[in-house]
């Protein structure tokens, strides 16, 4: 079970789990391809024109470096986890040091897509999310289908507010919302000032 699943709140659903695009492995793949070409070139050279053994060794070394680059990228990326839930955007990264950013959907101030020509063709790009609670934008780099990310955030931004008027017993609804904002405060998604204001507003409804 990943970080997101372990930290979901009551009634919170995962809407999308953004993934890195395989384009992140291109540099390693190019290293392998170059190594194969060099090694084959050394193998087909006629004796006496050059040292085929050296070229084959260099090509093999390049291929190994490219393979190691792909393996390292795969291992490092496996520690990163992204999600858009019915309440917030979650970004967890870190190989040696964990860093977690959480943005409530109703706190998203701006969302930008940055994609190169290749990115538009292959359906990948960067997503930059700005929030009142962050010093700078939270960036999701080279993820698949960034348009799906944008569309879900824009269409679900008002979902938490709509969910608060669910047809249940008023007292039970307010108690549940108090528990939710307490969890958001403890996770760092709400500042202490925001938590106190929302708590006072909910207490008045009891």
In a domain, 149, yes or no: no
- Write out the residue range of the structural domain in which residue 180 sits: 164-206
Tokens of 3: 């970080």
pLDDT at position 184 is: 74
Q: Classify residue 108: in a domain, yes or no.
A: no
Q: Which two tokens stand for residue 189?
A: 């998604």
As a whole number of angstroms, the distance between CA 195 and CA 184 comes to 8
Q: How many CA atoms lie within 13 A of 102 on its CB side?
A: 19
Of 31, 62, 77, at which residue does a domain stop? 77
The answer to whether residue 28 is domain-embedded is: yes
Structure tokens given for 58:
């260099």
**pLDDT recorded at residue 190:** 67
| Residue 186: inside a domain | yes
Domain assignment present for 10:
no
How far, in whole angstroms, is CA 121 from its chain's centroid? Answer: 21
**Helix residue spans in 78-145 (DSSP H):** 117-122
Residue ending a domain, choose from 77, 107, 123 = 77
What is the full per-residue pLDDT of the chain (206 aa) written as tens digits?
788 989 898 889 999 999 999 999 999 999 999 999 988 887 777 666 556 778 888 999 999 999 999 999 999 999 999 999 999 999 999 878 889 999 999 889 889 999 999 999 999 999 999 987 667 899 999 999 999 999 999 887 644 444 444 444 444 466 777 777 777 777 666 677 777 777 777 777 66
Number of domains in the chain: 2
Residue 45 neighbours by CB distance under 10 Å: 14
Last residue of a domain, one of 14, 46, 77: 77
């Amino acid at each position: 079970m990943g970080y997101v699943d372990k930290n979901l709140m009551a009634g919170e659903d995962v809407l999308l789990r953004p993934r890195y695009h395989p384009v992140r492995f291109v540099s390693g793949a190019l290293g392998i391809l170059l190594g194969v070409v060099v090694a084959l070139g050394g193998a087909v050279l006629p004796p006496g024109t050059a040292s085929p053994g050296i070229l084959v060794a260099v090509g093999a070394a390049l291929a190994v470096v490219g393979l190691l680059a792909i393996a390292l990228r795969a291992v490092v990326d496996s520690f990163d986890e992204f999600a858009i839930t019915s309440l917030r955007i979650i970004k967890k990264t870190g190989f040696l040091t964990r860093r977690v950013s959480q943005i409530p959907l109703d706190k998203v101030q701006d969302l930008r897509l940055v994609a190169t020509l290749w990115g538009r063709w292959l359906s990948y790009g960067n997503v930059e999310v700005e929030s009142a609670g962050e010093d700078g934008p939270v960036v999701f780099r080279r993820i698949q289908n960034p348009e799906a990310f944008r569309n879900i955030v824009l269409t679900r931004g008002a979902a938490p507010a709509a969910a608060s008027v669910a047809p249940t017993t008023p007292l039970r609804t307010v108690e549940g919302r108090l528990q939710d904002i307490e969890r958001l405060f403890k996770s760092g998604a709400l500042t202490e000032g925001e938590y106190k204001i929302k708590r006072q507003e909910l207490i008045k409804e009891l």
